[in-house]
Amino acid sequence: MITATYHKYILNFKQASGTSRGILRTKETWFLIVSEGEKKGIGECGLFRGLSIDDRPDYEEKLQWVCKNIHLGLESLLVEMTNFPSIQFGLEQAFLSLKGSNPFELFPSKFSQGKENISINGLIWMGDKTFMQQQIKEKLQRGFTTIKMKIGAIDFNTEIELLKSIRKEFSSEEIELRVDANGAFSPNNALEKLKQLSELEMHSIEQPIKQGQWQEMANLCEKTPLAIALDEELIGVFSKEEKEKCIETIQPQYIILKPSLVGGFKGSEEWISITKKYNADNWITSALESNIGLNAIAQWTYILQNKLPQGLGTGSLFTNNFESPLEVINGSLGYNSKKEWKFNL
């Protein structure tokens, strides 16, 4: 007989991390443990307060319901949890983990065997100019050739100067630059800002204006001199018909998929199949999960064989993350099969 329990866990940032939504010091997450006989499966429900569509007062109640009704099986539970994408993702992981030869290998591959790595971007958190410069320097020293910088929290001219200083030292052949505005621009000034950014030979910009403004975003995607990637735009769009309508209307150059926010592997794969019809590409991003969720996302990302650098966090942001074989080697994420997992709640 299959049974399930859930556990809340608070991840503590090593240093406060700035986003356009404010300063993050802790990150709440939830673990779903399913058991069948001696076997156990682990899934992380990566709730992201203030961003997840399932940031609702009845979240824990839903987890209780899932545990009581775990016997219904994965497919039925995914349908029941349509409005709770992070729980859907936790369920997918837990059932795959239960089936696997060990709880941490969800998608056996050359990645999970430690034979191949995944190219990733180095993330620069918002802060004052000195702090951001320090992070850029550190990422370059660690072998990253793609850097993603969050913009929109400090003065735009200061951000442009920072980006110019990178470009003075490194050409677009040496360093690929991505920026993430987290919806910080207004539809009135976004195009002008995109023109300024494009002069610095950027790869792309994520979510220049706030989500939900499909017509304005479509207008931007049509006129932009810089590739636009939809991110928050995908959150809370559940049905296949609505997803299709979103992509058909906006016609973006890229979409960015965070499995915790868009309904796990299944939800993400639905988005991928739709965007292919409209010649849009994609990459996968983690959303501040612990190493449990990051491991699941990384293993799945590898089997997609998307050659673009992915937005996979490195698990090194937190003081109380779980020890794992995941490690960053020369700007890529690898799995060191000599290292042990230490997962204890």
* Cβ neighbours around 83 below 10 Å, total: 14
Residue 62 annotated to the active site: no
Task: Name the active-site residue from 258, 266, 307, 339.
Answer: 258
Residue 164 annotated to the active site: no
Q: How far apart are CA 217 and CA 187, in angstroms?
A: 8
Q: How far apart are CA 333 and CA 342, in angstroms?
A: 19
CA dist 52 to 78, 85, 228, 271, 307, Å? Answer: 17, 8, 22, 17, 28
Q: How far apart are CA 4 and CA 193, in angstroms?
A: 49
Phi, psi of 332 (to 5 degrees): -140, 160
Radius of gyration of the chain (CA): 20
Identity of residue 198: S
Task: Name the active-site residue from 150, 210, 339, 342.
Answer: 150
**Side-chain half-sphere exposure of 209, counting CA atoms within 13 A:** 22
Phi, psi of 258 (to 5 degrees): -110, 105
Identity of residue 118: I
Query: Which residues form the catalytic set?
Result: 150, 258
